Amino acid sequence: MKKKKLLTVSVGVLLVAALLFAGIPTVADDAPTVHYDVLIVNGTVVDGTGAPGYQADVGITDGKIVAIGKLAKGKAERIIDAEGLVVAPGFIDPHGGISISSRDGSVRNPQCLSKIYDGVTTLISGEGSVAPRPYDPDRAFCTLAEAFRLFEESGISCNYASFVNHGKVRSFLLGNEDREPTEAELQVMKFLVAEAMEDGALGLASMLVYTPECYSTTELVIELAKVAAKYGGTYRTHIRGEDIHQLEPGLGTAEMVQICEEAGLPVVQIHFKAPGPEFYELGMLQQTIDYIDEARAEGLDVQAHLYPYMFGATGLSAIIPPWEKAGLTTPEWLALLEKGTDSRARIRAEIYEEIPAPVEWFNFVMDTAGGDFSKLGFRSSPTGTNAAYVGMFFDEIAELKGYPVPPYTLEDAIEVIFDILIEEHGGGGLLAPAYFEESQIELCLQQPWMAIGSDAGARDPATGGLPHPRAYGTFARVLGEYSRERGVITLEDAVYKMTGLPCEQIGITDRGKIEVGLAGDITVFDPLTVKDKATYTEPLQYSEGIPYVIVNGVVVIDDGEHTGALPGKILRLTEM
């Protein structure tokens, strides 16, 4: 890592600045004739900077915060009495999203129900970016600009922003092939990234642990990240593997820091975690934190966010070694799992590390669970064929499917997963075990560069299913469990990690703080009662203690009820 030169500032200038701004926040005392669209009175403002809360009223007009101070004499179309409540910036979910159909352009759950009830006013996606996609006359959109237009035409309750996904760019040209692009193909990839950045993308995102992105070299990602850097973008990543090798050159966190240095842009590690018993035993979490601190001390802009849950979740197909999928369609690699085939036996052996792996990869079965299928759960059955087993762990399913009753062998449980993958046509959800111990979550939350992100899109309880509870309760959980109940972080710091900090990490400048001139995105919550209710067994439950949520000056959650309003905007880096 190369150290960057720090700008020097006169001590005298700093002293003058400190004196000038010592009175922040500025408190206005408006005349009775001032009229606002929304006026929030009697609340405690926690402004999203980490500064102590203070008593003030907040006035919003034309979607913007226009006054902060003693405004009780003002008039307003709507007055919200926030006595005993905290008035905070709307929460930013840097790892959320809203689904949109590529075939008809319809937005699924435009009311963003699970998120807006959790206090979220802005959702940011990118690892599974909607674009670019190869042209298809039957597809509703191919570019990010076209997708943005469809969101705007539909209307959404939360704001929405997106990164451009390296995997989408790669598969646009290479499909699922495990090879490097030609020079001509590389130039097209760079063009696609540039096009998305001009459309308003926040930067480049990657999921290097999954196919086909894991086939890319670090050098390829750096080349694409350099394009995003020219537009002032950020790079964020699901690192190549959150395992004991993640600090080795070219892997995991070490690769992320290398990309930061060589591409010359800020980087953010999404859902920072420490999975598996071996990781715990080696003290890898503290080592990883120290590694990032060292990079930051050398002038590199390296940060992260996490979700505050012990368990994780992913697609069931993630257990299959990536080299077995290379160049194959889903039906083709599923054929390798047919019963009685040599390929099925080979893949089982690869998962259990009975034969050497050709490349370093994140083995979900062994790295997170140590081969213990009582810790691996089944979360979704897209076809409905295995709906009866949703919510069970694979040791239970093995018995119910007719495999030997306990003590069964590891092979029995992996056979069940292979069977279900075939029956679900490659789909299905996996609950991954104990990525964290609680003490490790607490340690992570205390890092100054750690923001909060859910790793879950907006959900509608009416659609059912058994999603990870993070889809409904991430932000209320931080406020209730980790700030109020455990005292791991202060209330002000918790709000900062959900508002100002994620905005700083990814370059959003028009919201994330309660400040005159910024967007009127406000979340009002009760610091004594706010809490998450979603659990692993009953996840379809909204958070409590968040009676008001305002998006761009429009009340969306009013006294705990969704108004049906769709005031969300598309946030484009090009417009900030």
Q: Are strands 75-81 and 35-45 parallel, antiparallel or unpaired?
A: parallel
Dihedral pair phi/psi, residue 144, rounded to 5°: -65, -40
Give residues with Cβ within 8 angstroms of 63, minimum separation 6.
519, 520, 552, 553, 554, 567
Tokens read off for 510? 């028009």
CATH architecture of structural domain 163-269+272-306 = Alpha-Beta Barrel (3.20)
Dihedral pair phi/psi, residue 302, rounded to 5°: -120, 125
Least confident of 179-193, 433-447, 526-540: 433-447
Return the closest-CA partner of residue 58 out of 91, 90, 22, 21: 90
pLDDT band at 12 (very low <50, low <70, confident <90, very high): very low
Given CA atoms 138, 143, 144, 146 in this order, what sign does their dihedral have?
negative
Q: Quote the pLDDT of residue 27.
A: 47
Least confident of 25-39, 40-54, 346-360, 388-402: 25-39
In the predicted structure, residue 246 carries a pLDDT above the cut 90 = no
Q: Quote the pLDDT of residue 314.
A: 86
Distance CA 317, CA 383 (A): 15
Least confident of 129-143, 168-182, 439-453, 544-558: 129-143
Q: Quote the pLDDT of residue 437.
A: 77
pLDDT band at 473 (very low <50, low <70, confident <90, very high): very high
Could you identify the residue written with the tokens 């950045």? 197
In the predicted structure, residue 11 carries a pLDDT above the cut 70 = no
Task: Give the amino acid at 525.
Answer: F
Could you identify the residue written with the tokens 């096009």? 195
Q: Is 297 exposed, middle or buried (0-12, 13-18, 19+ CB in 10 A)?
A: exposed
Could you identify the residue written with the tokens 């056979």? 415
In the predicted structure, residue 9 carries a pLDDT above the cut 60 = no
Tokens read off for 525? 């919550």
Least confident of 52-61, 374-383, 444-453: 374-383
Q: Which span out of 29-38, 94-103, 366-375, 480-489 was modeled with the highest average pLDDT?
A: 480-489
Given CA atoms 537, 539, 540, 542 in this order, what sign does their dihedral have?
positive
Tokens read off for 109? 């759950």
User: Left (φ > 0), alpha (ψ -120 to 50) or beta: where does 67 sit?
Assistant: beta
Q: Is 246 exposed, middle or buried (0-12, 13-18, 19+ CB in 10 A)?
A: buried
Give residues with Cβ within 8 angstroms of 290, minimum separation 6.
none
Distance CA 91, CA 72 (A): 25
Tell me what the pLDDT averaged over the chain comes to. Answer: 89
Contact (Cβ atoms closer than 8 angstroms) between residue 390 and residue 378? yes
pLDDT tens, position by position, 210-233: 889 999 999 999 999 999 999 999
Least confident of 433-447, 476-490, 537-551: 433-447
Q: What angle do CA 379, 383, 384 make, to 5 degrees?
A: 65
H or E element at residue 474: helix 470-477
pLDDT tens, position by position, 260-271: 999 999 999 998
Distance CA 576, CA 574 (A): 6
Q: Quote the pLDDT of residue 20.
A: 32
Give residues with Cβ within 8 angstroms of 360, minimum separation 6.
240, 241, 245, 251
Tokens read off for 181? 């692009």
Question: What is the residue extent of each domain of the chain?
Answer: 163-269+272-306, 314-432
Beta bridge mates, 267: 235, 302
Least confident of 101-115, 344-358, 463-477: 344-358
Q: Is 510 exposed, middle or buried (0-12, 13-18, 19+ CB in 10 A)?
A: middle
Helix (H, G, I), strand (E, B) or coil at 97: coil
pLDDT band at 18 (very low <50, low <70, confident <90, very high): very low
**Average pLDDT in the 100-123 region?**
94
Q: Quote the pLDDT of residue 30.
A: 52
Least confident of 8-17, 186-195, 380-389, 404-413: 8-17
Least confident of 48-52, 305-309, 415-419, 566-570: 415-419
Tokens read off for 501? 């900090």
What percent of the chain is modeled with pLDDT above 70? 91
Dihedral pair phi/psi, residue 393, rounded to 5°: -95, 155
pLDDT band at 32 (very low <50, low <70, confident <90, very high): low
Distance CA 212, CA 225 (A): 17
Q: Quote the pLDDT of residue 16.
A: 29
Q: Quote the pLDDT of residue 277.
A: 67
pLDDT tens, position by position, 50-85: 999 999 999 999 999 999 999 988 899 999 999 999
pLDDT tens, position by position, 122-172: 999 988 778 888 878 888 889 999 999 999 999 999 999 999 999 999 999
User: Left (φ > 0), alpha (ψ -120 to 50) or beta: where does 293 sit?
Assistant: alpha
pLDDT band at 497 (very low <50, low <70, confident <90, very high): very high
**Average pLDDT in the 456-480 region?**
94
